[in-house]
Amino acid sequence: MDTILGPLYYAVSWIIVQFHSFYSLVFDRDSGAAWGLSIVSLVVLIRVCLIPLFVKQIKSTRNMQALQPKMKAIQERYKSDKQRQSEEMMKLYKETGTNPLSSCLPILAQSPFFISLYQVLSHIAQNKTVGVIDQSLLASAQKAHIFGAPLAAKFMDSAAKIQSLGASLTDVRVVTIIMIVLMSASQFYTQRQLMTKNVDLTVKTPFMQQQKMLMYVFPVMFAVFGINFPVGVLVYWLTTNVWTMGQQMFVIRRNPTPGSKAFTERQERLRAKGKLVESPAEIEAKKAAEEARQNRQQPKRQTKAKRQAGTGAPTGGAQNRTRAGSASGGTAARSSKASAQDSEGTGETPGKGGSGSRSTKSGQRKGQQRPKHPSKK
């Protein structure tokens, strides 16, 4: 490891020493402020250099969110053919210009510097020179304490080792626990901010479930591994978490994902300032929707007795209609009967004339009749 990352040890130690020389003009050369601010400045320098990769990470994350429905369709279509599924996925990535590894580029690019800083601080704790840190700088770094905890001390170090660095076990453990809690909390808030504000909640995808799981997994990982980190590394990682949180807040506010909560809030801010000009069609559509919502009347709630009365017996209107129908039916029947009697008296069927018509009441033929047969007399 030392052979592979040897050049990075020199690079990291050289950057820290340069910042330490600058801060020594203001603070004591052996103080924790001079060495702690040197580590913070190292983080800021690295993260500024990683801004282009961060922009690629944002674009890749958004592209991955947009491609989730298509990816899910490919997985369902080629469920039994994993090779064809991989080919279609790579084809989709190529067509859309998406790189799945772009979301991990900042972490991957930062990892060698993190490991190098860890090794530099470990060498300081073991009283070994590393990189450009000579014996005089080594002695100065060992005297540096942050809130009573040496830069090279760990939570799991023994009391004898911590005493050799000029500190107490209680101070080291209190400082490391506080820093680990802050480190885990900042990581959780950063991930939660991404999930609640900068994700299109109208589309439910497996990517959202993965991000939600990472929101709880990462803080636990930091808490577990943090007890084995030197105080200087905890300063490094806490600083980079705070930088990531602030950087993400800026991006979410200025350039949120379309369809997310942050995007709606940004549209409202621009609309309030008069910087968002909507088309007349959108304005008319919103007005029509608002008017329809206001004019819409909800049906009055009825009691159980009224509902049963409405289903079991006819209401007042229905009863009136029934009575009116019965009255009209009776009038029609009486009219038919009267017309039938008139027809019987005149020998005509209603609507028809002629002597050969039958009476509606008796059914016998009226008018001229044939003589009976002689045999029937």
Is it the case that residue 367 has pLDDT exceeding 60?
Answer: no
Phi and psi at residue 361, in whole multiples of 5°? -85, -50
Among 126-135, 211-220, 302-311, which stretch is predicted with the lowest mean pLDDT? 302-311
Contacts of the segment 188-191: beta carbons below 8 A, 24+ positions apart: 188/215, 188/216, 188/218, 188/219, 189/245, 190/241, 190/244, 190/245, 190/248, 191/215, 191/218
Q: Which residues contact 31 (CB under 8 A, 6 or more apart)?
A: 144
**Per-residue pLDDT tens digits for 191-228:** 887 777 766 655 555 556 666 777 778 788 878 888 88
Residue 352: predicted pLDDT = 43
Task: Classify 130 as helix, strand or coil.
Answer: strand
Contact 12, 117 (CB under 8 A): yes
Between CA 258 and CA 263 the distance in angstroms is 6
Question: CB count, 10 Å around CB of 23?
Answer: 19
Please name the residue that has the structure tokens 């599924």.
85
Residue 97's region, left for phi above 0, alpha for psi from -120 to 50, else beta, is left
**Per-residue pLDDT tens digits for 246-277:** 888 888 887 777 667 777 888 888 878 777 66
**Per-residue pLDDT tens digits for 154-204:** 888 888 888 888 888 899 999 999 999 998 898 888 888 777 776 665 555
Residue 246 amino acid letter = G
CA distances from 107 to 45, 54, 102, 119, 241 (A): 15, 10, 10, 18, 11
Q: Quick one: which of 242, 249, 256 has its CA closest to 47?
A: 242
Chain centroid, CA 214 distance in Å: 13
Query: What is the overall mean pLDDT for the chain?
Result: 74
Among 62-66, 67-71, 200-204, the range with the most confident prediction by mean pLDDT is: 67-71
Task: Classify 268 as helix, strand or coil.
Answer: helix
**Cα angle 5, 8, 9; round to 5:** 90
